[in-house]
A and B are shown apart, each in its own frame.
Chain A
């Protein structure tokens, strides 16, 4: 085949359902032979935060924010009907019913198929979190110019 086509996704949201949609599309692209990059920015950084341990940050305000906004693929709320976790548990039950993978499993499959993860350094700076807050699957840390450089060569570009 000629040069691989590219797909670029921006995951701005930190909710389980939106992350599922993003990884579903990313996996479809990677399975179809595309080079796929996901930029995680703002609330989207929650998706790639590690599930275990505490997230360190600097200052009272940022500590408070990171306490309330802990994140981690297993902690993501639903964007609708979350109902303090009850709705999410029910949705996860329905997913299990049809053998649909959870966010962290989809994420592992994405890495297996070579999907590139990039974390937004501006959000990291604003929220006061470092690289140690994230899972090991993050390939690089960058800003908008890197996104533009990738996106302008991509035939599929989505903001989720």
Chain B
């Protein structure tokens, strides 16, 4: 999946990946896709829930060796 912007949340735990996602999203345009790189497993459930609450679209998650690449489209 292709993203417009990628942020690195590797090594960060809840709530920081969500907080950093919120910060980044504020600077983006609707329709743009954000990729969040993370290794805290909580992100698997947190990001879809966060997207639902904030009116953004959760596009999917790619998992490899305990590392996650999460994609969200700004609503």
Contact = CB atoms under 8 A, between A and B. Distances in A.
A113 B13 contact: no
A32 interface: yes
A100 B55 CA distance: 27
Contacts of A30: 22
Contacts of B13: 98-100
B1 interface: no
Interface residues of B, number: 14
Given A1-B55, A31-B19, A99 B14 contact: no
B11 A27 contact: no
A28 interface: yes
Interface in B19-56: 19, 21-22, 50, 53-55
A32 B14 contact: no
Contacts of A33: 53-55
Contact of B14 (A1, A24, A109): A24
A99 B11 contact: yes
Interface in A69-114: 98-101, 109, 113
A130 to B, nearest CB: 32
A1 B30 CA distance: 14
B16 interface: yes
Contacts of B22: 30-31, 113
A32 B14 CA distance: 13
B64 to A, nearest CB: 21
Nearest to B20: A31
Contacts of A28: 14-15, 18
A101 B20 CA distance: 13
13 contacts: A1-B55, A24-B14, A27-B19, A28-B15, A31-B18, A32-B54, A33-B53, A98-B11, A98-B13, A100-B16, A101-B16, A109-B19, A113-B19
Given A28-B15, A31-B22, A33-B54, 13 more contacts: A1-B54, A1-B55, A28-B18, A31-B15, A31-B19, A31-B50, A32-B18, A32-B53, A98-B11, A99-B11, A99-B12, A99-B16, A113-B19
